[in-house]
Structure 1
Amino acid sequence: MTTSDLAGASVRTPASYSERDLERWWTEPAKNPRRTAFERDRARVVHSSALRRLGAKTQVLGPSSDDFVRTRLTHSLEVAQVGRELGKQLGCDPDVVDTACLSHDLGHPPFGHNGERALDEIAEDIGGFEGNAQTLRLLSRLEPKVFTDGGECVGLNLTRASLDAATKYPWLPGAGPDRPDGRPQRKYGVFPEDVEVFGWLRQGAPVGRRCLEAQVMDLADDVSYSVHDVEDAIVGGRVDLTRLRTAAEQDRVVAQARDWYDPPVEDDALGAALERIIADPVWVPGYDGSRRDLARLKDMTSQLIGRFCGAAERATRASAGEGPLARYDADLVVPPETLAEIVVLKGLAALYVMAPREYEAAYLTQRTVIFDLVDALISSGPEHLEGPFAADYRAAGDDGARLRVVVDQVASLTDTSAQQWHARLCGMLSEVY
């Protein structure tokens, strides 16, 4: 912890944050005190190569599909805007929430969740792959910014508060709390190899409980992609808004939401939520591609975001009272009706956009690219790895550790670079074998 961080923070950082929250894994030399420690955290993420790569990574549709769809980068920027405003209203430091929101998808590999599932299969014998755990790995180990005196990379070396806020699932594989329906939690936020820094960032935190800033980030993520994926689907002509008004089509949306997300609300509540949204005057009744309809669509997304965040803010205040809330002062409360509306919009996007893609030839091709790349890189050793990963590979003590390095390398690639690497390496290897 540096004196300058504390000096700057004592003027502008809310009292809800302690000196412990401002500590960094590795103590750094004194910095300019005109910025708080949390402002410095946000700047480090903004200037990171991992954030830049999100510009060419799939959100729902591939970044080359058209000029309108969102990438992981634009999605992260929108999540940061939503989360920053909600967090600020509750009393969280806006830069802590902003940092968490900008970071939340850094660990996602090329080709979105399709690529994530492929890497999870590949890494099954070494503990699997999870994009959220990869995010912590990037922030605390892989992203080159700060090194210890012994030459160890400690990633961006964020403060404890920011790193905790960026950890959406603060538990190891299999150690998370059960879902509301009693089923085990599949998501996790840390690989066993990174348990040391995880233990440090969670010092003093209740076991299995997310800090308020992480909860705000998670809701901002859900709100953003539930609303914006629907916007993308409408503009892309993938949603028939007229047909959506029929009972049969609404039932299909509810069934898709249940199948993919299985939320802790009844199907009747999901159906009622969809009816409320469609009946609301803000909902666009049709879309013809005109500038006026684009404006109506944008107003719809803005109004829905305000509706969801406003409901969560009011419910949280009703539970926790007034005054600034941060860290473990309170839990974010999302009313069941609001949760149902968010989930049913996610179900709408899943039905018309995501589920059909799983049967497209391109989906299988993406998985093939991931599997082929890992095989090629394992076969060739460190030869074709980027410099930092080649060094990690040479330092790895066994085959499992070497596989984790290759997975780190492939996860870092964008959709575009993964395809380019595949064309270069696998084409060459096919000639050899």
Structure 2
Amino acid sequence: MASTADTPYDDVSTERWAPEPDKRPGRTAFQRDRARVLHSAALRRLAGKTQVVTPGSWSREWDASPRTRLTHSLECAQVGRELGAALGCDPDLVEAACLSHDMGHPPFGHNGEQALNSFAADCGGFEGNAQSLRLLTRIEPKRFVPVPGGVASVGLNLTRAALDAATKYPWPRGAHPTDPASVKFGVYEDDLPVFAWVREGAPADRACFEAQVMDWSDDVAYSVHDFEDALHAGHVDPAALASEDERSGIWAAAIGRYVPAGTDPQELADALDRLVRQEWWPHGYDGSALAQARLKDATSQLIGRFCEAAENATRQAYGTGPLTRYAAELVVPREARHECAVLKAVADRYVMQRAEQETLRADQRVVLAELAEALTARAPEGLDPQFRALFDTALDDRARKRVIVDQIASLTDAAARSLHTTLTGHP
């Protein structure tokens, strides 16, 4: 491993579950982590997974190029790398976390996540963040270690700090520290041993600083870019955001989902007004080349605004030194969080709540439910060789069902539909 003498990260942070030599001395441990994530098949598959809407479902079919999970992850990584570096984090470490944070998401986005959670209710549930940890530490084939009777995968075998930085929700299902009913969690029961190793010495239920940077970068990237996509697709008229009726719908979309229940709508109104008053706000967007350039400038301004708000507030709280691991908490001003939430709510109201999108989501849920049922009845038929081998060696029905979940979660949108048609005969 390259020396970490010039960084605030110790040997515990750069340790790997399975020790291994560095094939190319001179690289840091976190440069290796970033390279492993960047070259993984799981990251490439995100190109075929829905971010907000399925490609092709736009009003302007001549420009059907919305974000995918892959482009979102790349944009999140760019935001996180720069914000993390400004605060003293290792930039390769933060970038690796940002690139990998969505790798466990299944086909059809959060809609697919809900469908798989229902199917997996009796074997530990499904959560995209827990699936990401499972993929990084078990499923993605990169390193194998000897075990009695053969070998076992340790996934990409990333460093402890990289796995911790990719963990938004450092608790198992049902153990949310403030909301036991929350569906958010970061580890399945059968992945607890490696999770315990990752979290060795960490404060209970507290995400590390790099994970907090990743989480805010994720919020910034998807709020800004989903708004950009919605505007570019013709789903949002900026002038309509002045209508009180339209605004009421935006606040309804935001409260309880993007801001806590009980938030005063006036705070959200103030947040939107602050944005609309900016000189760079995309007033009168009409899709022309000049308007597109202005919209691109607006997205840059928004990202800079949100990152600078967090950087300045965090530096004010903790000073100018490097902030890493558990030495600090990322401070995001309430005003910035509300501005970010308003952008999310605009995309929610004008894109996700469109009637054709709900029709499409209903169809997607049927596809995944029927696919899960068909694989359960016919497995190991229909499983890829990697998952067929795991199915054959699984110890019980619960473990076999988890393999089926892993297989479905690995599929792209198109692959899920293709396998569904193959196994059921239904288009």
Q: Distance in 2 between matches of 1:351 and 1:156?
A: 38
- Mapped to 1, the partners of 2:198 and 2:412 lie a distance apart of 29
Give the match for residue 190 of structure 1: 187
Corresponding residue for residue 371 of structure 1:
369
User: Which protein has the bigger helix share?
Assistant: 1
- Output the CA distance in 2 between the equivalents of 1:148 and 1:120: 30
**Secondary structure class of the residue paired with 2:12:** helix
Query: Following TM superposition, by how much is the alpha carbon of 1:154 offset from its aligned partner in structure 2, in angstroms?
Result: 0.2
**C-alpha deviations, 1:189-244, integer Å up to 9, x for none?**
00001000000000010000111100000000000111100000001110121111
In the other structure, the counterpart of 1:238 is 235
Q: Matched residues in 1 for 2:281 and 2:351: separation?
A: 19
Which of the residues 36, 39, 49 maps onto 1:57? 49
Indicate conservation of the 8 Å contact 1:97/1:216, yes or no: yes
Cα distance in 2 for residues equivalent to 1:63 and 1:164: 32
User: Does the residue aligned with 1:189 lie in a helix, a strand or coil?
Assistant: coil
User: Secondary structure at 1:9's aligned position in 2?
Assistant: coil
Instruction: Tell me how far apart the structure 1 counterparts of residues 55 and 282 of structure 2 sit (CA, whole Å).
Output: 25
Aligned CA-pair RMSD? 1.5
CA contact under 8 A between 2:259 and 2:338: conserved in structure 1? no
State, as a whole percentage, how many aligned pairs show the same letter.
56
Say yes or no: does 1:149 pair with 2:182: no
Residue 399 of structure 1 pairs with residue 385 of structure 2: no
CA contact (8 A) 2:237 2:285 kept: no
Structure 1 contact 21–159 (Cα < 8 Å) conserved: yes
Contact 2:67 2:229 in 1 (8 A): yes
| Corresponding residue of 2:60 | none
Q: Is the 8 A contact 2:141 2:155 kept in 1?
A: yes
Q: In structure 2, which of residues 407, 412, 417 is the aligned counterpart of residue 414 of structure 1? A: 412
TM-score by length of 2: 0.95
Find 1:282's aligned residue among 265, 280, 286.
Answer: 280
Give me the whole-angstrom Cα distance separating, in 2, the residues matched to 1:339 and 1:75: 19
Paired residue type of 2:144: F
TM-superposed deviation, 1:67: 3.3
Pairing of 1:209-288 with structure 2 (within 5 A): 209-263=206-260, 265-288=263-286
Aligned residue runs from structure 1 range 19-418, under 5 A: 19-65=11-57, 67-150=64-147, 151-178=151-178, 184-263=181-260, 265-356=263-354, 360-418=358-416
Q: What is the number of equivalent residue pairs in this alignment? A: 418
Measured after TM superposition, the shift of residue 358 of structure 1 is 7.6
Aligned amino acid, residue 80 of structure 1: A
Query: Which stretch of structure 1 is more off in the superposition, 138-147 or 66-75?
Result: 66-75
Task: Return the offset for 1:353.
Answer: 0.8
- Is contact 1:132–1:169 with CA below 8 Å preserved after alignment? yes
Which amino acid is the alignment partner of residue 28 of structure 1? E
Gaps of 5+ in 1: none
Q: What SS class does the counterpart of residue 381 from structure 2 fall into?
A: helix
- Contact 1:79-1:220 at 8 Å conserved across structures: yes
**Which 10-residue stretch deviates more, 23-32 or 256-265?**
256-265
**2:419 maps to amino acid:** W
More divergent stretch after superposition (357-366 vs 87-96): 357-366
User: 2:353 & 2:419 partners in 1: Cα distance?
Assistant: 28
Partner Cα distance (1:39, 1:9) in 2: 12
Whether contact under 8 Å (1:140, 1:157) holds in the other structure is yes
Is the Cα–Cα contact under 8 Å of residues 4 and 10 in structure 2 kept in the other structure? no
The whole-number CA distance in structure 2 between the counterparts of 1:45 and 1:30 is 16
Structure 1: distance between partners of 2:357 and 2:101: 28
Amino acid at match of 1:268: Q
Show the counterpart of 2:4: 10
Contact 2:224–2:343 (8 Å) recurs in 1: yes
Say which SS state the counterpart of residue 148 (structure 1) adopts: strand
